[in-house]
Amino acid sequence: MQTTKTKPRGLRLTLGLLTLCLGLSTSLVRSAEAELDMDLMQTIEDLNKSLSSNISLRDAKASTSDAKELHQLFSKVEDYFTAKGDAHDAVDLAKKSKDLSQAIVKQVGSGQFEAATDSATDISRACRACHTFYKKS
Protein backbone atom coordinates (compact mmCIF):
# COMPACT_ATOMS: atom_id res chain seq x y z
CA MET A 1 0.00 0.00 0.00
CA GLN A 2 2.91 2.34 0.63
CA THR A 3 4.18 2.01 -2.92
CA THR A 4 0.81 3.16 -4.22
CA LYS A 5 1.05 6.35 -2.15
CA THR A 6 4.65 6.95 -3.19
CA LYS A 7 3.98 6.75 -6.94
CA PRO A 8 1.23 9.40 -7.00
CA ARG A 9 3.33 11.67 -4.78
CA GLY A 10 6.34 11.21 -7.10
CA LEU A 11 4.12 11.81 -10.09
CA ARG A 12 2.69 14.96 -8.50
CA LEU A 13 6.20 16.18 -7.75
CA THR A 14 7.31 15.51 -11.32
CA LEU A 15 4.26 17.25 -12.75
CA GLY A 16 4.80 20.16 -10.40
CA LEU A 17 8.41 20.53 -11.51
CA LEU A 18 7.43 20.32 -15.18
CA THR A 19 4.78 22.99 -14.67
CA LEU A 20 7.29 25.22 -12.91
CA CYS A 21 9.82 24.79 -15.72
CA LEU A 22 7.18 25.51 -18.35
CA GLY A 23 6.10 28.62 -16.49
CA LEU A 24 9.67 29.88 -16.19
CA SER A 25 10.46 29.25 -19.85
CA THR A 26 7.27 31.04 -20.92
CA SER A 27 8.22 34.02 -18.77
CA LEU A 28 11.69 34.11 -20.29
CA VAL A 29 10.29 34.03 -23.82
CA ARG A 30 7.85 36.84 -23.04
CA SER A 31 10.65 38.85 -21.47
CA ALA A 32 12.80 38.39 -24.56
CA GLU A 33 9.92 39.48 -26.79
CA ALA A 34 9.20 42.49 -24.60
CA GLU A 35 12.05 44.44 -26.12
CA LEU A 36 12.32 45.22 -29.78
CA ASP A 37 15.22 43.32 -31.30
CA MET A 38 18.07 45.77 -31.87
CA ASP A 39 19.39 43.57 -34.69
CA LEU A 40 16.08 44.14 -36.46
CA MET A 41 16.44 47.89 -36.06
CA GLN A 42 20.05 47.77 -37.31
CA THR A 43 18.91 45.75 -40.32
CA ILE A 44 16.28 48.40 -41.06
CA GLU A 45 18.87 51.16 -40.81
CA ASP A 46 21.29 49.30 -43.10
CA LEU A 47 18.57 48.48 -45.62
CA ASN A 48 17.37 52.06 -45.64
CA LYS A 49 20.91 53.24 -46.51
CA SER A 50 21.15 50.57 -49.20
CA LEU A 51 17.76 51.59 -50.57
CA SER A 52 18.76 55.25 -50.84
CA SER A 53 21.98 54.30 -52.59
CA ASN A 54 20.25 51.93 -54.99
CA ILE A 55 17.60 54.52 -55.86
CA SER A 56 20.27 57.12 -56.59
CA LEU A 57 22.04 54.56 -58.82
CA ARG A 58 18.68 53.89 -60.50
CA ASP A 59 19.08 50.19 -59.76
CA ALA A 60 15.45 49.13 -59.98
CA LYS A 61 16.02 45.48 -59.05
CA ALA A 62 18.05 46.22 -55.89
CA SER A 63 15.79 49.13 -54.89
CA THR A 64 12.71 46.96 -55.23
CA SER A 65 14.30 44.18 -53.20
CA ASP A 66 15.32 46.59 -50.41
CA ALA A 67 11.89 48.25 -50.34
CA LYS A 68 10.07 44.91 -50.15
CA GLU A 69 12.26 43.74 -47.29
CA LEU A 70 11.76 47.06 -45.46
CA HIS A 71 8.00 46.64 -45.88
CA GLN A 72 8.18 43.28 -44.10
CA LEU A 73 10.40 44.62 -41.32
CA PHE A 74 8.24 47.68 -40.71
CA SER A 75 5.27 45.30 -40.41
CA LYS A 76 7.11 43.60 -37.54
CA VAL A 77 7.84 46.96 -35.91
CA GLU A 78 4.19 47.97 -36.28
CA ASP A 79 3.06 44.66 -34.72
CA TYR A 80 5.50 45.12 -31.83
CA PHE A 81 4.33 48.62 -30.95
CA THR A 82 0.67 47.65 -31.42
CA ALA A 83 1.13 44.78 -28.93
CA LYS A 84 3.11 46.98 -26.57
CA GLY A 85 0.24 49.43 -26.30
CA ASP A 86 0.44 53.11 -25.40
CA ALA A 87 2.73 53.79 -28.38
CA HIS A 88 0.32 55.23 -30.92
CA ASP A 89 2.94 57.49 -32.50
CA ALA A 90 5.30 54.56 -33.04
CA VAL A 91 2.50 52.49 -34.60
CA ASP A 92 1.63 55.37 -36.93
CA LEU A 93 5.27 55.95 -37.90
CA ALA A 94 5.85 52.24 -38.55
CA LYS A 95 2.69 52.09 -40.67
CA LYS A 96 3.75 55.22 -42.56
CA SER A 97 7.19 53.70 -43.22
CA LYS A 98 5.61 50.44 -44.31
CA ASP A 99 3.32 52.32 -46.72
CA LEU A 100 6.24 54.39 -48.03
CA SER A 101 8.21 51.20 -48.66
CA GLN A 102 5.33 49.84 -50.69
CA ALA A 103 5.07 53.13 -52.59
CA ILE A 104 8.77 52.94 -53.45
CA VAL A 105 8.24 49.54 -55.08
CA LYS A 106 5.60 51.10 -57.34
CA GLN A 107 7.59 54.28 -57.96
CA VAL A 108 10.76 52.42 -58.92
CA GLY A 109 8.74 50.00 -61.03
CA SER A 110 7.42 52.89 -63.08
CA GLY A 111 10.78 54.67 -63.30
CA GLN A 112 9.85 57.48 -60.89
CA PHE A 113 13.21 57.58 -59.12
CA GLU A 114 12.82 61.20 -57.91
CA ALA A 115 9.55 60.29 -56.18
CA ALA A 116 11.22 57.17 -54.77
CA THR A 117 14.05 59.34 -53.42
CA ASP A 118 11.49 61.56 -51.68
CA SER A 119 9.76 58.52 -50.20
CA ALA A 120 13.07 57.07 -48.96
CA THR A 121 13.88 60.43 -47.35
CA ASP A 122 10.47 60.37 -45.65
CA ILE A 123 11.26 56.91 -44.27
CA SER A 124 14.50 58.25 -42.78
CA ARG A 125 12.59 61.13 -41.20
CA ALA A 126 9.99 58.76 -39.75
CA CYS A 127 12.77 56.63 -38.26
CA ARG A 128 14.42 59.65 -36.66
CA ALA A 129 11.09 60.89 -35.28
CA CYS A 130 10.35 57.49 -33.75
CA HIS A 131 13.83 57.20 -32.26
CA THR A 132 13.43 60.60 -30.64
CA PHE A 133 10.60 59.19 -28.52
CA TYR A 134 11.23 55.47 -28.23
CA LYS A 135 14.92 54.59 -28.71
CA LYS A 136 16.72 53.61 -25.53
CA SER A 137 20.15 55.06 -24.97
Q: What is the pLDDT of residues 80-110, one digit of tens each?
A: 999 988 899 999 999 999 999 999 999 999 9
Say what the pLDDT of residue 26 is: 45
> In whole angstroms, how large is the CA radius of gyration of the chain?
23
Q: What is the pLDDT of residues 27-78, one digit of tens each?
A: 443 443 457 788 999 999 999 999 999 999 999 999 999 999 999 999 999 9
Q: CB of 95 within 8 A of CB of 112?
A: no
The domain defined by 35-134 carries CATH number 1.20.120.10:
yes
Task: Give dist(CA 85, CA 70) in Å, integer.
Answer: 22
Q: CB of 56 within 8 A of CB of 117?
A: yes
| Inter-helix orientation angle 88-109/38-56, to 10° | 30
Task: Give dist(CA 76, CA 64) in Å, integer.
Answer: 19
